[in-house]
Amino acid sequence: MDLKALRCFEAMAKHGSLTKASIELGILDAAVSQRIKKLEKYLGVKLYESRGGRVRLTEAGQRTTDFAMRLFDEITEFEEAIGDEDSQGTVVLSAEVPLLRFQLANIVDSYAHAPARLRLLGRTAVETIELVRRNEADLGIVHDRSMPPGVKFHAWRVFKSYVLIPRDHALARRKIPTLQDILKEEVLQRYPLIIGEIEEHGQNRIREGLEQLGLPYNIGLEVGNIETVKHYVARGHGLAAVSGVCLSREDEAIFHIIEIPEARQGETTYGVILRDDKHLSSSLRGLLDLFELPDICSRGQK
């Protein structure tokens, strides 16, 4: 059955007029009449008679009208239910823990009133990419790196890197040290680095940068995560080079935070990753809008 033809007949029966039906549907009278004739031919019965510009339904026409009203009501309910499901459910976001704690808090706060539930997974960049690739996470936040086929990186923010020194450290007794004060062999030998055991990306950049300068990559302590790194730097066990991703205003009261310039590989780009074929439900689109990435926000539904 042609639903467009049934819709034309239902509108004509409701208004008792071909002309009024055509106005409601936004098509010509002739098109309404043609579609109703097509419906009559399909059903093999006469659905209405027109006398003096007035429409009178046959018995079959009345039964068809009742059926059409029930059917279109069910279609409307179905469409609304599907729309509700699309705007609810759960959105899964995966990222490194420092990103979740320090950089995504405002986005999470803004999304708190959305009908969908947000699930945040604290995972490494490698794990996040794999979760997105397998469609087990709707989106991820990682630093710029090669992506597997079918996953795209959308640049979001650039974060600088910094050296952390406790405010009561020996290097800071006379003045706040500069990066040049720190990048000396005797300083790095005396005050070793504290690193996070899963901070592979950051470790490689630090090692490469020091090697280029002919300086030692002297590791004094390796700990579980960046929060533990900051804890032991504050206790005087060494220095640390960290991404601005993990810093908060509270850290300014504890550390001298010395910027590493871009020329020293001191910047890292982070971005949102999505599958190329990811369906952007209204709930997922609502979260992505908060990242203000035009190339994602303008992407059509898949």
| pLDDT tens-digit map of 170-204 | 999 889 999 999 999 999 999 999 988 755 566 77
Q: How far is residue 302's CA from residue 299's CA, in Å, rounded to a whole number?
A: 9
CATH fold of 90-157+273-297:
D-Maltodextrin-Binding Protein; domain 2 (3.40.190)
User: Is the pTM for the entire model greater than 0.95?
Assistant: no
Q: 165: exposed, middle or buried (C-beta count within 10 Å: 0-12, 13-18, 19+)?
A: buried
Residue 198 DSSP class: T
**Confidence check: pLDDT of 302 > 50:** no
Average pLDDT over every residue of 244-265: 88
Residue with more model confidence, 114 or 163? 163
Domain positions in the chain: 3-87, 90-157+273-297, 158-268
Closest-CA residue to 239 (of 181, 160, 174, 175): 181
- The mean pLDDT of 78-100, rounded to a whole number, is 78
Mean per-residue pLDDT, 5-21: 90
Q: What is the mean pLDDT of the chain?
A: 88
Residues in the chain: 302
Would the CATH topology of 90-157+273-297 be identical to that of 158-268? yes
Topology, domain 158-268: D-Maltodextrin-Binding Protein; domain 2 (3.40.190)
Q: E-assigned strands of the chain? A: 48-51, 54-57, 90-95, 117-122, 139-143, 151-166, 193-196, 219-223, 240-243, 255-260, 267-275
Do 138 and 151 form a contact (C-beta atoms < 8 A)? no
Instruction: Look up the CATH architecture of domain 3-87.
Output: Orthogonal Bundle (1.10)
